[in-house]
Amino acid sequence: MRYSCNICGKGLEQKILKDIKSNGDYYDIFFCDYCMTGITTPMPEPDEALSLYSSESYRTDTGTRFNPIIEFFIYVFRLKRKGDIKRYIERGSILDIGCGRGLFLHIMKKDGWGTAGVEVNKETAFYASEMYGLNVAVGEPSNWNFPNESFDVITINHVLEHVHKPAEYIKKCKELLKKEGLLFIAVPNISSLQAVVGKELWFHLDVPYHINHFSTAGLLDLLKNNSFKILDIRHFNLEYNPFGWLQTLLNFSGIEKNLFYNSLKNPKIRKTIRLRKGKILLTLALLPLFIPISFILSVAETILKRGGTIEVFAIKE
């Protein structure tokens, strides 16, 4: 079967990673020579993708995914995102695509913003509207009923890599944003040093959850083709990059793939993993060495403009 690129539609010839094992299935990643984007094949069907997100290993309906210390850091990171947005627009209306449990929108609402969200998982959307009184749409862009040109800001934080038709999302953002409205996008970077070194063991590769694997060039092309003007591109993210290195290094050391990450999730999830004492002890022994190395590597790759995350701030022209 011949695959075509999710972003630009050209035929895909070059396989960059093959036989990546996940939950007993095997996946390949093809790379588009035109827009420099990787695509997971076979692509999970939309129904299959939905059930992946409903499974307890990815999200929970109870509101938290991690232990309280990690949840605290997540809260701090959301506050930082608020600060990043307010550097451009002091206050207005915001749409968060892939709003999850709604924590970020809750923070914005408390700051006086008009808020709305989009979430693919029905239960998670229900949680966000019950818990924080948020207006959350469910489904794909064609199902959203927001009026055109109604938002000052749209954020898409680590979502575009999951969707079947990312170009449709960007077109929809163009319709929904006011003129000179701000679009913020963050995605993992397939051209990053951690991706290139980690290959199929790279933590943020995350197949089959991640369908699209963006490079900076590919993401910028997608935005420019939809009349967005790029304001800022960043490659360092404290929430994603050092941990990306840390879990990748642990994966290299031969310990069960992503064991450390899985063990940080909440106890309900933790119980479902067959934790082996020896592997946990080995992980704990390696952390004092790997944590500083991960920070150093994250800074180094950022200086080389090949950080594990791409964050783009753009305005609609």
What is the 3-state secondary structure of 239-303?
A: CCHHHHHHHHHHHHCCCCCCHHHHHHECHHHHHHCCCCHHHHHHHHHHHHHHHHHHHHHHHHHHH
Please report whether residue 167 would count as binding Zn ion according to CB under 5 A: no
Residues in the interface with Zn ion (CB under 5 A) total: 6
Please report whether residue 264 would count as binding Zn ion according to CB under 5 A: no
Please report whether residue 32 would count as binding Zn ion according to CB under 5 A: yes
Taking CB under 5 A as the binding criterion, the range among 29-37, 64-72, 182-190, 288-296 that sits at the site for Zn ion is: 29-37
One of 3, 34, 144, 295 touching Zn ion (CB under 5 A): 34
Nearer to Zn ion, 31 or 240 (CB): 31
One of 8, 264, 280, 315 touching Zn ion (CB under 5 A): 8
CB of 102 to Zn ion, least distance (A): 33
In the numeric block, the tokens 């979430």 are attached to 119
CB of 6 to Zn ion, least distance (A): 7
For residues 287-314, one letter each, b for 16 or more C-beta atoms within 10 angstroms of the residue's C-beta and e for the rest, the string is eeebeeebeebbeebbeeebbbbbbbbb
CB of 166 to Zn ion, least distance (A): 11
Report the alpha-carbon distance of residue 133 to residue 263 in Å, rounded: 31
CB of 47 to Zn ion, least distance (A): 25
Report the alpha-carbon distance of residue 115 to residue 82 in Å, rounded: 13
Nearer to Zn ion, 35 or 310 (CB): 35
Please report whether residue 7 would count as binding Zn ion according to CB under 5 A: yes
Please report whether residue 310 would count as binding Zn ion according to CB under 5 A: no
Please report whether residue 261 would count as binding Zn ion according to CB under 5 A: no
Nearer to Zn ion, 14 or 272 (CB): 14
One of 20, 35, 159, 249 touching Zn ion (CB under 5 A): 35
Task: Report CA-CA distances (Å) from 247 to 108, 157, 202, 255, 289.
Answer: 31, 21, 8, 10, 13
Please report whether residue 3 would count as binding Zn ion according to CB under 5 A: no
Q: What one-character DSSP code corresponds to residue 170?
A: H
Nearer to Zn ion, 38 or 188 (CB): 38
Which amino acid, 175? E
CB of 241 to Zn ion, least distance (A): 25
| Residues ≥6 apart with Cβ < 8 Å to 129 | 102, 135, 136
Nearer to Zn ion, 212 or 247 (CB): 212
Helix-, strand-, coil-residue percentages of the chain, each rounded to 5: 45, 25, 35
Contact residues: Zn ion, CB under 5 A: 5, 7-8, 32, 34-35
